[in-house]
Amino acid sequence: MRLADRMSRLGTETAFDCLCRAKALECKMDVVHLEIGEPDFDTPKHIREAAKAAIDAGYTHYGPSAGLMEVREAIADYAGRLRGVRFTPEQVVITPGGKPVMSFAIMALVEPGDEVIYPNPGFPIYESMINYMGGNAVPIRLHEESGFRLDAGELAALVNPRTKMIIINSPQNPTGGVLTKEDLALIKDTALKHNVWVLADEIYAEVLYDGKFESISQFPELDQRLIILDGFSKTFAMTGWRLGYGIMPPKMAELLARLQTNTNSCTATFTQRAALAALSGPRDEVNAMLAEFKKRRDFIVAGLNKLPGFRCASPRGAFYAFPNVEGTGIDCDVLAHRLLEEKGVACLAGTCFGKYGDGFLRFSYANSIENIGKALGKIEELLKTL
């Protein structure tokens, strides 16, 4: 096929492969889906209604690449209030999901040979896109002992003159780890000292179980080197809508908008109008969803900790449990595979999130307590046969 060399460096997100396999198995057996990271709740009604009204009102055409100005304004206001800072609409670029912010930021900044430090275990697309652009992906290990927070001392040791960017993610996928204000201050100091960009993936900012969300954007010194990734997928149960945004210096926003002009032109305009309803509408459905996630977290963590060979820290945010399964004596890839094929429990091996995920499994608890209970029973059954 004579593909471009860079295609050999492009990774993937195995959650989607696992979902396909799990769906295919459904004709043979019952499958409990704990693999994919999406809320199992419907998008709140007022948001759906707003999208329908927007279609009828003619929001079916191309829009500006950076997004509709009234929506950029609403996002700047909402995202600023959430973080206790002030953003301007010129800093906001609206994208089809949060993911493009990741790809565009890396495309805009990373040249062959540049180093990018990224959390490992972590969202697999960071490593994939860094490699694709010819950068050197430098993992920073997240340790179970410290609640999977990134160790600022280790970070400082990894940064060198070739480092172009540091990626952070809090609350974190797959571990549920959350960075403290002190962690963020140290990361900010390192970035400033070495003139490095920070990409802060804050897509789970509002899926936080205790305490207040801390964003690295609270340190204004970093303003000129910070790109925040956020979106509607998780908080508003809108994964399939493809609606996210980045917040960054206005000059960088112009460049990301230009990348958008070159790739997907713009984000669908009726979904953007629905975003206005999400940002300003009632919070009861979102709050109910978050309360339910918390119940499920407590349920799944307690259940996993009862299984022989499993040890699971309680995630502080996002909706994933990430137990250490080394005590079972079974390789985590084999265990994930057998759980799916023999017991119909779809989950992911920690290695789907990088080499330091070895020895762990990831369970998304975006599923009912009843189904989680069923899955726990089936895992126990499999463990008994080993």
Which residues contribute to the site for ligand PLP (CB under 6 A)?
37, 97-99, 123, 169, 173, 201, 203, 231, 233, 239, 244
Residue placing its CB nearer to ligand PLP in the complex, 219 or 353: 353
- Please report how close the Cβ of residue 74 comes to ligand PLP at its closest, in angstroms: 18
For the chain, what is the radius of gyration of the CA atoms? 21
Residue placing its CB nearer to ligand PLP in the complex, 242 or 343: 242
What's the token pair of residue 53?
Answer: 């009204």
Residue placing its CB nearer to ligand PLP in the complex, 125 or 379: 125
Residue placing its CB nearer to ligand PLP in the complex, 97 or 315: 97
- Please report how close the Cβ of residue 277 comes to ligand PLP at its closest, in angstroms: 18
Distance CA 373, CA 138 (A): 38
- Please report how close the Cβ of residue 1 comes to ligand PLP at its closest, in angstroms: 28
- Please report how close the Cβ of residue 47 comes to ligand PLP at its closest, in angstroms: 15
Residue placing its CB nearer to ligand PLP in the complex, 44 or 98: 98
Residue placing its CB nearer to ligand PLP in the complex, 96 or 376: 96
- Please report how close the Cβ of residue 202 comes to ligand PLP at its closest, in angstroms: 9
Omega within 30 of 0 (cis) for the link into 171: yes
- Please report how close the Cβ of residue 230 comes to ligand PLP at its closest, in angstroms: 9
- Please report how close the Cβ of residue 43 comes to ligand PLP at its closest, in angstroms: 13
Residue placing its CB nearer to ligand PLP in the complex, 163 or 239: 239
By beta carbon distance, the residue nearest ligand PLP is 97
- Please report how close the Cβ of residue 301 comes to ligand PLP at its closest, in angstroms: 19
Residue placing its CB nearer to ligand PLP in the complex, 270 or 319: 319
